[in-house]
Amino acid sequence: MVESMNMWTDVVGGHTSQRLKSIKLKQMRSIKLLALLALGLLSQSLISQETETSVTPVETSVELDVLKAKEELKEAKEAQKRIKAAEKEAKKLAKAKKKAEKQLRQKERLLSDIDSKKRSIAKSEKKIINLEGKLIKGELKGKLSPVAKAKMNQKINNLKIDIAKDREKMDKLMGKR
């Protein structure tokens, strides 16, 4: 029986040895597969670490771009403030220039009005002198009627009133000067 067992083991053993060989081959394949998978995972983790480091520069470059954009925006706002301030100053200067021109025109107009009043007064005084001369001449010749004398005296009085008014206006204008 022992021999039959030995045979059995030989038969089975032969089978078993082939079977063991196939199992060992399968195990080797599995080990190779596991090693290949381990190698793949290892390389994947290395690649992911590399991409993380490459992402970091990208992230920092993005952050740098954002910072640059913020700085540019800040500079643009400051430049805009400076431009507004310059425009405001230019408006002030333009307003001051307009005001000065307006004052100059008013002064010129005032001087013109004063000169006009002086001429008007002088003209009225000449008329008074002429009318008084005619009145005296007419009285000496005796050609003037009492009505004509009254009219001439009335004209002289009206001219004297006009002169007084013009002098008052001229005094006011001189006070404004």
CA pair distance 143, 147, nearest whole angstrom: 12
pLDDT in tens, the chain (177 residues): 444 444 444 444 555 667 767 777 788 787 887 777 777 777 777 776 655 444 455 567 888 888 889 999 999 999 999 999 999 999 999 999 999 999 999 999 999 999 999 999 999 999 999 999 999 999 899 888 999 999 999 999 999 999 999 999 999 989 987
Per-residue model confidence (pLDDT) at position 10: 47
Structural domain harbouring 6: 2-176
Structure tokens at 160: 């004297």
Domain count, the chain: 1
* Contact (CB, 8 A) for 134 and 152: yes
Report residue 105: phi and psi, to 5°: -60, -40
Output the 3-class SS for the chain. Answer: CHHHHHHHHHHHHHHHHHHHHHHHHHHHHHHHHHHHHHHHHHHHHHHHHHHHHHHHHHHHHHHHHHHHHHHHHHHHHHHHHHHHHHHHHHHHHHHHHHHHHHHHHHHHHHHHHHHHHHHHHHHHHHHHHHHHHHHHHHHHHCCCCHHHHHHHHHHHHHHHHHHHHHHHHHHHHHHHC
Per-residue model confidence (pLDDT) at position 30: 77
Per-residue model confidence (pLDDT) at position 55: 45
